Structure 1
């Protein structure tokens, strides 16, 4: 079903044989011709407690269990038998892929997950997530893409996360099968995404309840730190995946529910669990992804916002390598000030913010972003020219958004009003020029351009500008398989009509004022 696609790295078998891999999917052609089992391109899964094939321990698990260690093994054997019994009774292992476990078990034993992934459909879904979905989720796909190298191993220990990923992949396959730009004939049964998603939500609710009960019944010092962190990470990861599941089709607004829940979990975990360290890559990655989603959501939605919901990165997470994180931190600062000024207008007047000051902040963010981490430089999808154009898009889109959000004409001297308008005009020209060269019909950075395209749309006054924004947003949605920007296009069309009519003249011809009224009617949208 994915034969026409290719991967960006060689398979491990060809690497060991020291030959050039043709990188075909789902397995490389050279392995197929030689009758070899291709190990694939993604995460190499290894199962603990294997069985020795030779030597004096032949036929025995390694290491040999002592008497003190035999109790967990007994539980494992019972759980394995229970799972296999249910599979044999149902006649179809897909009927119930997650066994029931005692609340005392903190992780799912890996041998059980081996049985669970014996279903061809589940293996295919994990393959699709590994090779297609994870590539679209990262700013730029690379060898160490955390959506692949962190999320998949974590899912193999967390049934709720595993089911969320299966739902994500199934829904994405059905979405791209309807896209003219995707050469795919794969279609999953319509019940698959819903079934996996419902299973994920049910298991997640159970895990949250059990985890909360355990923490309330004993002091935090009695809970093993690694277990507490791993369970908290898995819960947060599941919520983030479920949030993204709701962005595949444009007819869902449940992403808000999962995003708010993730924010609540993060706030509670900061109170009760360990502070993060630089080597805790999973926690850092998840916090960054929550910060990114929360920031983008806040740029276009204005309902029920309080300063308490103002989610900031901690020091450890803010230093780590998400490629556009410097721009996002600036946008978060702008959003916070803009929201506070709704009830306290004097904040902006006393902030000392000026057009030149904002420009310096965004220039610093641009220079920091262009100092690209080596992880991205060695990526096969790495394209420095395209990255530079994308960074310039964020620079000018961020400036325009900040000027519109913070620099109110009535609070500025005449010379600052002129400077603001001049900078907006310049940034609009540069933004449209950079977007004109941007290739939203190619996967490398297509997913990164939707927010700059939306901001360009808010400034588009000519018909050709509006047509370019529409075409490129549609290309991006078609290429990535995520249709959540369809509501953003509806908003832009309504705003363009409103601005062109007589009633649209005045202060609310600014898109932020119009968006506040729009979302006040329950028409929320996410540009992400």
Structure 2
């Protein structure tokens, strides 16, 4: 599933479709004429074209890392990239006032380069560089918490709070990139707790920063939903701040419905019941259809190009059919579930085949491709396509977690060859119980 800061239509790609290469990508490729690794060339080229707000560090290393954040990380934090991407516009402005956020961006960029390069692009001492930036971030966060305890919240303090919450959120993404489950869970919980605390501030104080808070609420809510699917841990999200998340925003209603399905699965496991789910398959299908309509309705009102809107609608459809597959695997209450699963799987595979260039939406594809893969153990051709697509998005995004997903799905296929009744959700629970939960993100 998503987080990737997919909060709103900021996931659109200005003038790009899901199957075309952007002009900026083409230009970057044309400029790579030496023998150094392409990513290193891109970083060096970007350093010569700084376009950051005043107050950003100007040393060579920082500029390279900020460039990598701007060009490689910010685009994948949203559903589809646009000029209005909040991970550029909001984050970079707040960073000039927040040392914690500034150092967290450097931390995330260092870790991302390391994950993408598999140690081939960057010096051996990059690990210590990541640790140094991370220690700086944590030190700034500790100082921020001390200030919050000792002082009454004011406008300046809340500006720092926005930076601190974003910094913690970025540490969550760093742990996802590096496949660190314990750190990921800790940072996601910390981010949500800080947002809850922010929500308790006097309304007249935090009103000007409410859009940033709401934006972060949606992002962390989606992250926590992704985590809940395969962590097999209790749902911890308080309903205070969560109740203010608008279902009109893209994928919020989708996450609500996924949570309904996960709760059905957990209740069945707790009470060892395979019948009488809390909601019948027909009701859940209707909820997914409502979620799809809400996302597309929001998309239609957003000021962007026709190509961007088409790309976003394509992503919405991918998630819709992936959600139906997951639901049919959980509810599994007879012929109706089987019919839903078959139709959804066939449609999802066809949608995935339609996309010849994943670069624009690679950050969104782990969930739909993984769910499609859970239904094709008996088709060598479909299995090959799933492997290729997962490997491709892994090459684009660099997420270590995607490599674990690929290994997981291949193990699942092997088990299905021995026993077709093998259930991937049961398998995911075993992974979680031994402290190695997968994260479909």
Matched, 1:369 2:295: yes
The 1:250–1:330 alpha-carbon spacing in structure 2 relative to 1, beyond 3 Å, is: same
Q: Matches of 1:133 and 1:448 in 2, distance apart?
A: 13
Corresponding position of 1:446: 362
The 1:365–1:312 alpha-carbon spacing in structure 2 relative to 1, beyond 3 Å, is: farther
Matched, 1:336 2:263: yes
Higher relative contact order (CA 8 A, sep 6+): 2
Find 2:408's aligned residue among 491, 497, 508: 491
The 1:370–1:223 alpha-carbon spacing in structure 2 relative to 1, beyond 3 Å, is: closer
Query: Offset at 1:24?
Result: 6.2
- 1:175 touches 1:249 (CA, 8 Å); kept in 2? yes
**Deviation digits for residues 122-149 of structure 1, max 9, x if unmatched?**
1221122122210111111112111111
The 1:296–1:145 alpha-carbon spacing in structure 2 relative to 1, beyond 3 Å, is: same
Q: Matches of 1:310 and 1:455 in 2, distance apart?
A: 28
Structure 2-normalised TM-score?
A: 0.79
Q: How does 1:171-210 map to 2 (within 5 A)?
A: 171-177=111-117, 189-190=125-126, 191-210=128-147
Greater per-residue helix proportion? 2
Structure 1-normalised TM-score?
A: 0.67
- 2:159 touches 2:209 (CA, 8 Å); kept in 1? no
Find 1:349's aligned residue among 273, 276, 279: 276
Matched, 1:314 2:242: yes
**Deviation digits for residues 91-122 of structure 1, max 9, x if unmatched?**
xxxxxxxxxxxxxxxxxxxxxx45xx131211
* Number of matched pairs: 403
The 1:376–1:173 alpha-carbon spacing in structure 2 relative to 1, beyond 3 Å, is: farther
The 1:9–1:454 alpha-carbon spacing in structure 2 relative to 1, beyond 3 Å, is: closer
For structure 1, list consecutive stretches of 5 or more residues without a partner in the other structure.
Answer: 1-7, 11-20, 29-37, 47-112, 216-221, 410-416
Q: Matches of 2:192 and 2:274 in 1, distance apart?
A: 26
- 1:42 touches 1:148 (CA, 8 Å); kept in 2? no
For structure 2, list consecutive stretches of 5 or more residues without a partner in the other structure.
Answer: 1-12, 16-23, 32-46
Query: Offset at 1:309?
Result: 3.9
The 1:162–1:495 alpha-carbon spacing in structure 2 relative to 1, beyond 3 Å, is: same
Q: Matches of 1:358 and 1:158 in 2, distance apart?
A: 43
**Deviation digits for residues 323-362 of structure 1, max 9, x if unmatched?**
43332232123223433454457898373x2222111111
**Deviation digits for residues 151-181 of structure 1, max 9, x if unmatched?**
111121111111110111122233444599x
Corresponding position of 1:423: 340
Stretch moving more, 130-139 or 271-280 = 271-280
Find 2:374's aligned residue among 458, 466, 488: 458
Find 1:391's aligned residue among 316, 320, 327: 316
